């Protein structure tokens, strides 16, 4: 059909699109069918996160839809399902376009894996997954979904982050903003922009500063020190912007720090964190660090607090 099809991502279907979706999926727009969509969307938003990818015509009519659901245990793992395209619009690349739009959106959100389940006799869907680069994997459950007996496919999503070294005179503003968003967790004092400019204008050969970026946007500030030594270096600060928490930026920053320090000849990297910073402890443990010390140390706000020293060998 010669029609312009628009594919878009939305967290919330309109009432009209929900009714059209129910009609297309179950051939009924009864309140009960529409409420199935509303209930699943509501529960998924409350439990983890959820969004729709919809394909519409110029007149607003729905021609296709799929759902994406975040895993409760692993926020970097997502599922897509309920994919449909109206019969008169099939074989026009709409299904592929919707899945690709979902994958692109998820990369920007720090997702690492997109999963789906397909009935063994659904030849069209099996061919679609393989054409899009999905690989068949041993079956695993996904939260409360009932997919037993189906074939599981996964698409590995490339890490969207990059690292750039601190370089420009205007970049203390990024450090100030990222630090301020993490000030409470770091137990640090409030540092004004003028002071950050003064600090960064006098580089310390024992330190190195980096930004983890999503596209060109800095989403985390990483500070390493101990670089004048020869055996052990430290991740002294890792401040991820609140909007990018639980999206893989912290894990990516730690991995970069290890690669950088290993290339510099260091054999060990260490990190200190307070006992109440459970998010940081969870990150470091997930990255393979272990506690090698426990005691009190003075945080940036001048208070002595109980904390841990984490360590990982780089050999």
> pLDDT digit string (tens) for 210-255?
999 998 999 999 999 999 998 999 999 999 999 988 888 999 999 9
pLDDT of residue 2: 62
> pLDDT digit string (tens) for 110-146?
889 999 999 999 999 999 999 999 999 999 999 989 9
Task: Kindly state the tokens that stand for 183.
Answer: 């000030």
Contact 290, 313 (CB under 8 A): no
pLDDT of residue 246: 82
Alpha helices in 92-243 (DSSP H): 94-108, 123-131, 172-181, 183-186, 193-200
Contact 164, 131 (CB under 8 A): no
The continuous run of DSSP H or E covering 89 comes out as none
Q: Is residue 139 part of a domain?
A: yes
Task: Kindly state the tokens that stand for 313.
Answer: 């060998």
Q: What is the dihedral of CA 205, 208, 237, 74, to 10 degrees?
A: -160
Where is the domain boundary, 156, 183, 203?
156
Q: Is 82 exposed, middle or buried (0-12, 13-18, 19+ CB in 10 A)?
A: middle
CB atoms closer than 10 angstroms to residue 34: 20
Where is the domain boundary, 156, 178, 201?
156
In total, how many domains does the chain have?
2
Alpha helices in 109-189 (DSSP H): 123-131, 172-181, 183-186
**Sorting pLDDT into bands at 50, 70 and 90, what band is 167?**
confident
> pLDDT digit string (tens) for 48-106?
999 999 999 998 889 999 999 999 999 889 999 999 999 999 999 999 999 999 999 99
Could you list the residue range(s) of the whole structural domain that residue 174 is in?
161-313
pLDDT of residue 141: 96
pLDDT of residue 248: 86
117 and 183, same domain (yes or no): no
Write the CB contacts of 202 (distance below 8 Å, at least 6 apart in sequence). Answer: none
The stretch 198-208 carries a mean pLDDT of: 92
CB atoms closer than 10 angstroms to residue 269: 23
- CA-to-CA distance for 135 and 158, rounded, in angstroms? 15
178 and 107, same domain (yes or no): no
- CA-to-CA distance for 20 and 55, rounded, in angstroms? 12
Unique residue bearing structure tokens 């990024």: 174
CATH number of the structural domain spanning residue 77? 3.40.630.30
- CA-to-CA distance for 167 and 210, rounded, in angstroms? 9
DSSP secondary structure letters along 59-73: TS-EEEEEEEEE-SS
pLDDT of residue 32: 93
> pLDDT digit string (tens) for 256-308?
999 999 999 999 999 999 999 999 999 999 999 999 999 999 999 999 999 99
Task: Kindly state the tokens that stand for 215.
Answer: 């596209």
28 and 110, same domain (yes or no): yes
169 and 101, same domain (yes or no): no
132 and 214, same domain (yes or no): no
């Amino acid at each position: 059909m010669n029609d312009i099809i628009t594919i878009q991502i939305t967290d919330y279907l309109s009432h009209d699109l929900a009714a059209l979706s129910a009609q297309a999926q179950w051939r009924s727009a009864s309140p009960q069918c529409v409420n199935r969509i509303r209930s699943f969307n509501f529960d998924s938003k409350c439990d983890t996160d959820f969004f729709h990818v919809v394909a519409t015509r110029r007149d607003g009519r729905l021609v296709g839809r799929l759902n994406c659901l975040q895993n409760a245990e692993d926020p970097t793992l997502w599922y897509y399902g309920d994919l449909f395209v109206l019969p008169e619009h099939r074989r026009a690349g709409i299904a592929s376009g919707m899945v690709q739009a979902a994958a692109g959106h998820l990369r920007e959100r720090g997702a690492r894996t997109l999963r789906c389940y397909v009935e063994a006799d659904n030849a069209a869907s099996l061919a679609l997954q393989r054409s899009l680069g999905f690989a068949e994997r041993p079956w695993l459950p996904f939260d409360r979904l009932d997919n037993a007996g189906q074939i599981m496919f996964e698409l590995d999503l490339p890490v969207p982050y990059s690292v750039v070294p601190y370089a420009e005179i205007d970049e203390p503003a990024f450090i100030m903003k990222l630090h301020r968003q993490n000030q409470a967790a770091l137990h640090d004092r409030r540092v004004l922009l003028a002071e950050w400019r003064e600090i960064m204008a006098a580089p310390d050969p024992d330190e190195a500063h980096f930004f983890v970026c999503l596209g060109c946007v800095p989403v985390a500030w990483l500070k390493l020190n101990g670089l004048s030594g020869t055996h052990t270096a430290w991740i002294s600060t890792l401040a991820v912007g609140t909007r990018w928490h639980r999206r893989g930026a912290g894990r990516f920053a730690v991995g970069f720090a290890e690669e950088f320090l290993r290339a510099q000849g260091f054999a060990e990297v260490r990190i200190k964190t307070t006992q109440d910073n459970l998010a940081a402890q969870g990150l470091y443990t997930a990255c393979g660090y272990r506690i090698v010390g426990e005691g009190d140390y003075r945080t940036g706000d001048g208070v002595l607090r109980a904390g841990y020293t984490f360590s990982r060998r780089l050999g």
